[in-house]
Every structure is written in structure tokens, then in C-alpha cells.
């Protein structure tokens, strides 16, 4: 279809703006899947995938659920938004390796980094079992969030019960592991929320 009127682009932009910023997995959820909570990534424009201080209550709730219930796993669903996450700025396009500062993330990786950074926080600081936390993205959802779901304990990299896309982590903890020639992502560590200690998770390993 040929479109030449600028009105079309204005309407499209308005439609994009009014999409809810926390979307995630559409209903109905699969049997055995329950939404726990969601955390926002809307406040730090310079580090769009950094876990925010406001996330602590949800993070703690999810970690406690894992400890209390050995028959579940967690699926983390990362989302991003081309408008609010400034896809037009083309961050990271001149870079070949990963940016561990979190300030030069390609828009195409923002949702994935949000999910793996969230996993890194709850596994390192809140002692969640990394084999029971599956980071994923939902490319059909627009948002600036990571949404937490509990899923049955047989969930894995290939079958996570949410129909979301699993992320290839640099350290494989969720089996089966990805092919070694595939691209992987490394979490960008942060300090413990409220600790006043600026040592990062990676430096303490």
C-alpha cells in the first residue's frame, strides 16, 4: 500500500504512544502459569536495562516464592518500547562487543538485558537458584518492564510455558544450553539495592 500523507505517520505515532507500557504475556495463561508481579525500567534513561531500586519488593517476592515452592520455576519476560526506549537514537550500532556499562545498548537487546539483569540480581543478591529462573523476551509486547511468572518445574530453555523467546546467557544455567556459535548476552551487574555498597555482583564472584 502506497502512503504519502504525513497524517498517516502522525496517527501511527499517536497509536504507538497510547500502547500500555506494561504488556507482557497475553491471556489466557497456560495451565500452571501464574503472574507474580512486574518491575519497571522507566526511570533511568541513560541505563535502560539497569534494575531500579523500586523493583526490590517484587524481586524479594519472587525469590521467596522459589524458596518456599520447590515445584515451580520463574520465567522473566522482558519488554521494550521503541518510543520510550529511543530506538531512533541507534545506540550500540558502532560497537562490536558487549557494553557492560549499560549506557550503549542496542534497542534490539534492551528487553533481553532487562531480563538477564533481573535474573542476575535475584540469583546473586537474593540467592535464587539460577537453574530455576528462565529469562525471556516478548517481542510482541510494548513496555519497559520485566514480568515475573511462576511455571511448572519441568519448564526449560526450549519449553517455558509462556510462548516467549528464551535468551542465550553467557553462562548457561537453564538446559538445554544454546549452540556455542550463537550470540550470548552477559548481565550488567549492579550494587545491592539499599545496601550502600557499590561493589558489583560480578566483582564479588
The domains found in the chain, sorted by start residue, are 20-204 (3.30.1330.60)
Output the pLDDT for position 90. Answer: 84
Q: How many other C-beta atoms can be found within 10 angstroms of the C-beta atom of residue 32?
A: 15
- 22 pLDDT band, cuts 50/70/90, is very low
Beta-bridge mates of residue 35:
149
Average pLDDT, the chain: 85
Instruction: Report residue 50 CA to chain centroid gap.
Output: 10
Asked if pLDDT for residue 173 goes beyond 50, the answer is yes
Asked if pLDDT for residue 10 goes beyond 80, the answer is no
Q: List the single range of 84-93, 116-125, 132-141, 149-158 with lowest mean pLDDT.
A: 84-93
Output the pLDDT for position 25. Answer: 58
Q: How many other C-beta atoms can be found within 10 angstroms of the C-beta atom of residue 186?
A: 16
Q: How far is the C-alpha of 205 from the C-alpha of 188, rounded, in Å?
A: 14
Instruction: Give, to the nearest 10 degrees, the angle between helix 107-124 and helix 56-68.
Output: 60
Q: List the single range of 61-70, 91-100, 141-150 with lowest mean pLDDT.
A: 91-100
- Which 3 state secondary structure label does DSSP give 110? helix
- Nearest CA to 150 out of 121, 172, 128, 125 is that of 128
Asked if pLDDT for residue 199 goes beyond 80, the answer is no
% of the chain beyond a pLDDT of 70: 82
CA angle 35, 36, 39 (to 5 degrees): 105
Output the pLDDT for position 119. Answer: 99
Output the pLDDT for position 88. Answer: 87
Output the pLDDT for position 47. Answer: 96
Q: How far is the C-alpha of 137 from the C-alpha of 75, rounded, in Å?
A: 10
- Nearest CA to 139 out of 168, 108, 185, 117 is that of 108
Q: How far is the C-alpha of 201 from the C-alpha of 120, rounded, in Å?
A: 8
Asked if pLDDT for residue 16 goes beyond 90, the answer is no
Amino acid at each position: 500500500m502506497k502512503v504519502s500523507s504525513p497524517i498517516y505517520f502522525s496517527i501511527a505515532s499517536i497509536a504507538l504512544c497510547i500502547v500500555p507500557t506494561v504488556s507482557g504475556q497475553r491471556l489466557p495463561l497456560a495451565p500452571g502459569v501464574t503472574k507474580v508481579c512486574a518491575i519497571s525500567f522507566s526511570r533511568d534513561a541513560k541505563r535502560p536495562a539497569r534494575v531500579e531500586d523500586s523493583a526490590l519488593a517484587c524481586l524479594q517476592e519472587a525469590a521467596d516464592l522459589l524458596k518456599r515452592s520447590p515445584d515451580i520455576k520463574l520465567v522473566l519476560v522482558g519488554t521494550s518500547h521503541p518510543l520510550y526506549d529511543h530506538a531512533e537514537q541507534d545506540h550500540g550500532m558502532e560497537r562490536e562487543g558487549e557494553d557492560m556499562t549499560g549506557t550503549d545498548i542496542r534497542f534490539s537487546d534492551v528487553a533481553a538485558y532487562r531480563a538477564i539483569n533481573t535474573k542476575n540480581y535475584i540469583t546473586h543478591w537474593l540467592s535464587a537458584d539460577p537453574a530455576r529462573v528462565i529469562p525471556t523476551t516478548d517481542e510482541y509486547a510494548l513496555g519497559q518492564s520485566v514480568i515475573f511468572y511462576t511455571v511448572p518445574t519441568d519448564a526449560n530453555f526450549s519449553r517455558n510455558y509462556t510462548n516467549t523467546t528464551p535468551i542465550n546467557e553467557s553462562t548457561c544455567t537453564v538446559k538445554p544450553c544454546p549452540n556455542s556459535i550463537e550470540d550470548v548476552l552477559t548481565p550488567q551487574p549492579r550494587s545491592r539495592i539499599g545496601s550502600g555498597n557499590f561493589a558489583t555482583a560480578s566483582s564479588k564472584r
